């Protein structure tokens, strides 16, 4: 599906505020309510918009620690990699999991209440996975930028 300028404007607006109504969107892109409704529906159906969520204040809900864990695996065959991905996808503490090129195999963004929470996550969940060789973790000291929207070039 090719995106025109109206589609791009809609995507940008929705990334900034997913709670905008179709009426608000129509006013901002200078299109009819029906046109905007159809376009947003088409963007959702074609997976340009995967889901609409509320972004919570992590500290207000008790998430005080963000960390990035580099995970090194013992085996690197397709089955072992898939098993690892499936396992960490089940952990509520893992916000993102990326398979990486370079010296380590996966990079995880992990959130917990505090250092004790991370210690329990590492000891009872991550380190006990069968294919994990070693984990190297870096703890976030401050957060200078946090974005959820992608630049649409």
CATH code of the domain containing 108: 3.30.70.920
Strand bridging mode 132-139 / 65-73: antiparallel
Token pair 């960490």: residue? 88
134 within a domain of the structure (yes/no): yes
Q: What pLDDT shows up at residue 153?
A: 77
Q: Is the dihedral of CA 62, 68, 72, 78 positive or negative?
A: positive
153 within a domain of the structure (yes/no): no
Q: Are residues 71 and 35 in the same domain?
A: no
Domain that holds residue 79: 65-139
Q: Are residues 108 and 75 in the same domain?
A: yes
Q: How many domains does the chain have?
A: 2
**Does residue 14 have a pLDDT over 90?**
yes
**Does residue 1 have a pLDDT over 90?**
no
Q: Are residues 115 and 72 in the same domain?
A: yes
List 109's β-bridge partners, or say none: 68, 96
Q: What pLDDT shows up at residue 135?
A: 98
Q: What is the mean pLDDT of residues 12-35?
A: 96
Q: Is the pTM of this model over 0.85?
A: yes
In Å, what is the CA distance from 58 to each residue of 5, 66, 83, 118, 143? 34, 10, 29, 15, 12
Confidence category of residue 102, pLDDT binned at 50, 70, 90: very high
Look at the chain and count its residues. Answer: 153
């Amino acid at each position: 599906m090719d995106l025109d300028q109206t589609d791009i404007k809609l995507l940008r607006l929705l990334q900034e505020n997913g709670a905008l109504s179709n009426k608000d969107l129509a006013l901002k892109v200078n299109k009819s309510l029906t046109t905007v409704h159809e376009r947003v529906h088409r963007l959702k159906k074609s997976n340009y918009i995967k889901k609409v969520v509320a972004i919570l204040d992590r500290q207000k809900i008790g998430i005080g620690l963000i960390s990035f864990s580099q995970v090194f695996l013992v085996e690197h065959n397709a089955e072992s990699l898939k098993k690892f991905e499936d396992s960490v996808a089940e952990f509520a503490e893992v916000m993102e999991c990326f398979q990486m090129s370079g010296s380590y195999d996966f990079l995880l963004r992990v959130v917990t209440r505090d250092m004790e929470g991370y210690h329990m996550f590492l000891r009872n969940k991550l380190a006990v996975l069968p294919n994990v060789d070693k984990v190297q973790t870096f703890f976030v000291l401050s957060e200078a930028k946090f974005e959820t929207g992608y630049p649409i070039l």
